[in-house]
Amino acid sequence: MEELDFTVETLGECKIESPIPLKNNMDEAHASFVNDNERVLYDIIYHEGSKNNRDDYVEGNLMEKAGARRHIYFQPNHVHAGIITCGGLCPGLNDVIRAIVRSLWYEYGVRRITGIRYGYQGLDPNNNLPFKELNPTNVDDIHTKGGTILGSSRGGPSIETRVDTIERMNLNMLFVIGGDGTQHGALYIADEIKRRGLKISVVGVPKTIDNDISFIQKSFGVETAVAEAVNAVYSAHTEAKGAIDGIGLVKVMGRESGFIAAHTALASNDANFVLVPEVKFELDGPNGLLEALDKRLERSFHAVILVAEGAGQDLLEASNAKDESGNKKLADIGVFLAQKIVEHRKKKGLPANLKYIDPSYMIRAAAATPNDSLYCARLGTNAVHAAMAGKTKVLISMWNYHLVHVPIGTAISKRKVVDPKGPIWKDVLSTTRMPLSMTNN
């Protein structure tokens, strides 16, 4: 088992009695506070004869359980909390904002809650973006809408400028809702806060529609994204079946991780080829995609291809361009594949009835499904519990179906990807019956 550090930083000793009316004894027939010594196992797999079957294997294998603490660090009526959303849109952003506001207001009695507009750009005084006062009234129904009422953006001013603004606002805690790049920024902010000797808690809620942050069992919005993508695949399948040698091509999100494509394929059972960044494929040659597609059409007269946006980038013209978050700008694999497939079919004198569907921005802007909304509510509420207890540089995660605290530095240390040798990809191969490999080596 790899050596991991799940140690969570705190601002200091918690001496203030929590205002939440929970019980202190877990044996009582009422909900109880969570103790700091309660842990969740990271690795629960039994390996015959290995270290993690001995009593000492728990060292480095324990994640701190999330939840309300009996004693908290901040005096609630002194708290000024800030909430910020960064990066691309994702279903559930408003749900998390709503949960944070309601927990601060109703559970802890916090009355100063400020929304920072348009991501980290809202912390740049040169942008002159007004802050938004938040309370239960103005977040009451936002969970029924897609997007974020605070707006979002990529990039932002220097870390020093961000912390200058946070300090001028007299914030005690900052809730950062965003993906890998956003959480890198949150960690830099927390480090600068610590360097200045300030007592400000920085708590992240991981938002990645690609589901690519490590030690996060599932990111919010993923379930909604899959549900929306399944509808697109259904449409592509219907179009393909209605034409001679019909081909449906659907592109979904997934820059470096193909979870949306893999889960959509398993949920729909209509995709015949699934292309993800983690598994290399070639177009030409006897084992390439085009030859496999021809064989499928000869056999079944229609085909559906599901491709993640980051798949097959080695087949396209390389570019060094980056967006404001520092992410490499991807070439459009969907348009490229559509063109190559049509050219290939026409060159062979075969029908080229292809319908291309790219629902990406419709998916990102969708309102969360009930299950996602529920998950967002729990993430937001537990983010508040962590901040009130003085936790900092920490993300709220679900792991082994428990909500836990994960240090931001640990979570962003590596990207989570689909394992080509793992059970999810094996199930995709089984469901689609696509070739095990589409390369010519």
Beta carbons of 97 and 148 less than 8 angstroms apart: yes
For the CA atoms of 102, 117, 153, 87, the dihedral, rounded to the nearest 10 degrees, stands at -10
> Does the annotation flag 255 for ligand binding?
yes
Place of tokens 């960064």: 86
332 counts as catalytic? no
SS3 at position 342: helix
253 assigned binding-site residue: yes
Residue 212 counted as an annotated binding residue: no
Instruction: Please indicate if the annotation marks 144 as binding a ligand.
Output: no
155 known ligand binder: yes
d(CA 237, CA 229): 12
Structural tokens at position 79: 């708290």
Active site residue: 210, 212, 245, 270, which one? 210
What is the four-CA torsion angle of 275, 89, 152, 404, rounded to 10 degrees?
-90
Q: Is 82 annotated as a binding residue?
A: no
Cα distances from 255 to residues 311, 313, 315, 412, in angstroms, run 8, 10, 15, 16
Largest interatomic CA distance in the chain: 78
Residue whose C-alpha is closest to residue 202's, from 229, 180, 177, 179: 177
- Residues with Cβ within 8 Å of 295's Cβ and at least 6 positions away in sequence, in order, are none
165 is in an annotated binding site: no
Residue 43 known to bind ligand? no
Closest of 375, 368, 382, 370 to residue 104, by C-alpha: 382
How far apart (Å, rounded) are the C-alpha atoms in residues 38 and 66? 9
- 278 carries a ligand binding annotation: no
154 annotated as belonging to a binding site for a ligand: yes
Mapping DSSP to helix (H, G, I), strand (E, B) and coil, where does residue 369 land? coil
The distance of Cα 242 from the centroid of its chain, to the nearest Å, equals: 36
* Neighbouring residues of 27: CB distance < 8 A, sequence distance ≥ 6: none
Q: Is 309 annotated as a binding residue?
A: yes
258 carries a ligand binding annotation: no
Binding site per annotation, positions for substrate: 208-210, 253-255, 309, 361-364
Binding site per annotation, positions for ATP: 88, 154-155, 179-182
Binding site per annotation, positions: 88, 154-155, 179-182, 208-210, 253-255, 309, 361-364
Binding site per annotation, positions for Mg(2+): 180
* Residues assigned a catalytic role: 210
